[in-house]
Amino acid sequence: MEFTENAFERRARKIHRYLRTDVRFNEKLLRRPYLFELTGTPSAGKTTTITELDKFFRRMGFRVLRPQEGAEVIRHIERTTPIYNVRTATYALNLLIDLAHGHQYDIVLFDRCLFDAYHWMMYWQEKGKLTPEQAKTYQSFFLAPLWTDFLDGAYFLICEPEEAMKRELKIALSKKLGETTNPETIRILVERYRRAFGNLKNRFPQLTLLETTRLDEKTMVEHVACEMLDTMERKTTAR
């Protein structure tokens, strides 16, 4: 029996031609955006770097997205439980998957994403709220290749406590120390990020550890920008 296209199908095909769905959703013609994650210790320069990169790339004509950080979105769960960091990580993961399958942006700059979740599972294990087996299970989930392969680059920015506190208090209205912005906690965080990088560097070539203690802001931003451009150029050539 020969297939005959009916009126409904002819009308639908006409709309498809108008929308150019063969182009809009063809990843061989339209590439997914470049996706980057920045995370790290307090006052290491993460926010400054993201802000300057966002400004630079937009001025160069790229469509750039810097998604809201999970901690700014997930406020209905107390920070006293691993569930909080699981939830902020799943928030970022959902965005990562959706953005990796769309063409609305050219570059996405995540303020904490999947590698950040790996670090927090270490924290909760040290606090005794996750067993080693539980921490490993959650870490394995968040760092599954199914989605970490979408991250073109990930950066751990760290800064030693003394310099971090100088930066933190430079324009602060109060000298009162915060839960994470105090020398002892920063020291622990720096050590943990170093350990996390040591654990992961051989598995994830897109991961970089950047020590910003002795870097001025311009040098720090230029360093990350250069690495990102190198990554994008390599992928452009490969394609």
Q: Give the pLDDT confidence of 216-233 residue by residue, as tens digits.
A: 999 999 999 999 999 999
141 CB contacts (<8 Å, ≥6 apart)? none
Taking the domains of the chain in order of start, what are their residue ranges?
A: 22-220
Give domain 22-220's CATH superfamily: P-loop containing nucleotide triphosphate hydrolases (3.40.50.300)
Residue 216: per-residue pLDDT: 95
Q: Which 3 state secondary structure label does DSSP give 30?
A: coil
Tell whether the model's pLDDT for residue 173 goes beyond 50.
no
Give the integer Cα–Cα distance in Å for 63 and 45: 23
Residue with more model confidence, 60 or 173: 60
User: How far apart, in Å, are the Cα atoms of 22 and each of 15, 18, 172, 178?
Assistant: 12, 10, 53, 53
pLDDT confidence bin for 169, thresholds 50/70/90: confident
Query: Residue 114: is it exposed, middle or buried by C-beta count within 10 angstroms (0-12/13-18/19+)?
Result: buried
Tell me what percent of the residues of the chain surpass a pLDDT of 90.
Answer: 78
Strand 34-40 with 64-65, pairing:
unpaired
Rounded to a whole number, what is the distance in angstroms from the first to the last CA of the chain? 43
- Global pTM value: 0.90
pLDDT confidence bin for 76, thresholds 50/70/90: very high
Instruction: Summarize pLDDT for 84-136 with one digit per residue, the tens.
Output: 999 999 999 999 999 999 999 999 999 999 999 999 999 999 999 999 999 99
Q: Please, are residues 103 and 32 in contact by the beta-carbon 8 Å criterion?
A: yes
Amino acid at 121: M
Exposure pattern of 65-83 as b/e (b: 16+ CB <10 Å)?
Answer: bbbebbeeebeeeeeeebe
Give the single-character DSSP code of 2: -
For 139, the token pair is: 């870490």
Mean pLDDT within 19-31 = 83
Nearest alpha carbon to residue 86 among 108, 110, 118:
118
